[in-house]
Structure 1
Amino acid sequence: MTESNKIGVTEVVLRDGHQSLLATRFRYQDMEASLKQLDQVGFWSVESWGGAIFDSCIRYLGEDPWDRIRKIKSMMPNTPQQMLLRGQNLLGYKHYADDVVKKFVECSKTNGVDVFRVFDALNDPRNMYQAMQSVIEVEGHAQGTISYTTSPVHTIDLW
């Protein structure tokens, strides 16, 4: 997206929809029938990978997460595929070395990810830098993201 006067809409149902509501348990076959229809809507992107999907595919669903993104990409040729990437944590639960981050981003791009929405749970830009730089190097679309919440208990006084 290069025109600043346009608004692009990203659909997140294939990642956050079932991550938030169903503990990331949608199998590829559960979504396959809807992919061609989603592709025709005209979304700027569809967030279909990342977050807890990688772990869930391996741990609970018996699916190859790389095969999953390749299949989704092939079923949705008109819509850029987007992922949520945890910065230096990638899709895991610890920090990884810079060369691992670089290779993971490269493999993600090669397998079908076009847009990388990068965040760090602590909002520390140092934890986002290598992932963002790696996305730029593979000519992907890098989006820096800030985590926040609003609620009665999350106040400046309490935190």
Structure 2
Amino acid sequence: MPGFESLEVWGGATFDACIRFLGEDPWERLRTIRKHVKNTKLQMLLRGQNLLGYKHYPDDVVDAFIQKSIENGIDVIRVFDALNDLRNLEQSVKSIIQHGGHAQMTICYTISEVHTDAYYVQLVKDMEAMGAHSICIKDMVGILTPRRLETLVRLIKEVTKITNSCSYTLNKWYCRNDIP
């Protein structure tokens, strides 16, 4: 039966918004969603070593937060660092894998003299070596054209067997291994 691979229902600013603006318990919200969404994986967005906050947290805090997120219903954790600094993702990925979650690592796409095909290929190889289950190409500012996406996905497929996904700003479109 067709359906969604996963629903991103938690993480990012939702945790903060629940507490600060809605007066809700974000953990209870997650458990309620999990109770009602039985046949679809639940996904969250995580800022690596920053978790859902705006500063770095110690490794033990990162591990405990990820463990509790998975215990309370999260299946897939899309982890990213806006500067593609994989050092900020190491503990998160390790904890996600250790606690039985799906580690989806994210390439934050941008354009510059540094961000070449070789740069992105090496990034994917490093993510695979870290244990990524899947890779997301995230275009947060809307500069990734369909043609560039095609070349990027083809390059990724040449160097890894990891599943890749694409997330476009404002959710204008979403692709999943759909480029031959």
TM-score, normalization by structure 2: 0.60
Structure 1: state its 5+ residue gaps.
1-39
Partner of residue 134, structure 1: 95
Quick check: which one's strand share is greater?
Answer: 2
Unaligned runs of 5+ residues in structure 2 are 115-180
Number of equivalenced pairs: 114
Structure 1 distance, partners of 2:8, 2:24, is 18
Letter of the aligned partner of 1:73 in structure 2?
R
Whole-angstrom distance in 2 between the partners of 1:144 and 1:82: 12
Spell out, residue by residue over 1:10-39, the C-alpha distance to the aligned partner (whole angstroms, 9 max, x if none): xxxxxxxxxxxxxxxxxxxxxxxxxxxxxx
User: Following the alignment from structure 2 to structure 1, what is the Cα–Cα distance between the partners of residues 112 and 75?
Assistant: 36
Q: Does 1:145 align with 2:109?
A: no
User: Which residue matches 1:48?
Assistant: 9
Partner SS for 2:107 = coil
TM-score (normalizing by structure 1): 0.68
User: Among 110, 113, 117, which residue is 2:71 paired with?
Assistant: 110
Superposition RMSD in Å: 1.6
Aligned equivalent of 2:34: 73
Q: Which one-letter code corresponds to 2:97 in the other structure? A: I
* One-letter amino acid of the structure 2 residue matched with residue 101 of structure 1: V
Does 2:98 correspond to 1:122? no
The residue type paired with residue 116 of structure 1 is I
Q: Which secondary structure does the structure 2 equivalent of 1:146 belong to?
A: strand
1:86 alignment partner, one of 25, 47, 54: 47
Q: Distance in 2 between matches of 1:46 and 1:104?
A: 20
Is 1:99 the counterpart of 2:83 in the alignment? no
